[in-house]
C-alpha cells in the first residue's frame, strides 16, 4: 500500500464516523502525536519531581484523593459566597 493509498483509506474511514466517534478519535490522535513530547517533558523532570508525581498517582489509586467535582464545588462555594 502506498502512502497515498493509506492516506485515502484513513480519510474515508474518518469521513464516515459519527460526531461522537470523530471527537474520540481526535483525542486519541492528539494523544498519539503528543506522546513523544510528553516523554521528552517527563525526561526533563528531576528525580524528586518524578517521585512526587508517582507518589501522587499512588495516593489517588488508593482512594486518598479528592474528586474533581468536590474540589470545584468547594471553590465555587468559597468564591461565590464571598
Cα 65 to chain centroid distance, Å, stands at: 18
**Do 69 and 55 lie in a common domain?**
yes
What is the mean pLDDT of the segment spanning 66-79? 91
How much is the pLDDT for 1?
A: 86
Is a pLDDT exceeding 90 seen at residue 42?
A: no
Q: State the residue range of the domain holding 38.
A: 1-44
Are 52 and 77 in a shared domain?
yes
Averaged pLDDT for residues 6-14:
94
pTM for the full predicted model: 0.44
Cβ contacts of 14 within 8 Å, gap of 6 or more: 22, 25
Same domain, 8 and 36: yes
Output the pLDDT for position 56: 92
Average pLDDT estimate for 33-50: 85
Q: In the chain, how many domains are there?
A: 2
DSSP state of 46: -
Amino acid at each position: 500500500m502506498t502512502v497515498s493509498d493509506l492516506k485515502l483509506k484513513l480519510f474515508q474511514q474518518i469521513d464516515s464516523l459519527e460526531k461522537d466517534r470523530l471527537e474520540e478519535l481526535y483525542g486519541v490522535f492528539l494523544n498519539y502525536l503528543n506522546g513523544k513530547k510528553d516523554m521528552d517533558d517527563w525526561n526533563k523532570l528531576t528525580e524528586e519531581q518524578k517521585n512526587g508525581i508517582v507518589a501522587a498517582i499512588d495516593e489517588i489509586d488508593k482512594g486518598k484523593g479528592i474528586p474533581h467535582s468536590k474540589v470545584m464545588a468547594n471553590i465555587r462555594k468559597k468564591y461565590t459566597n464571598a
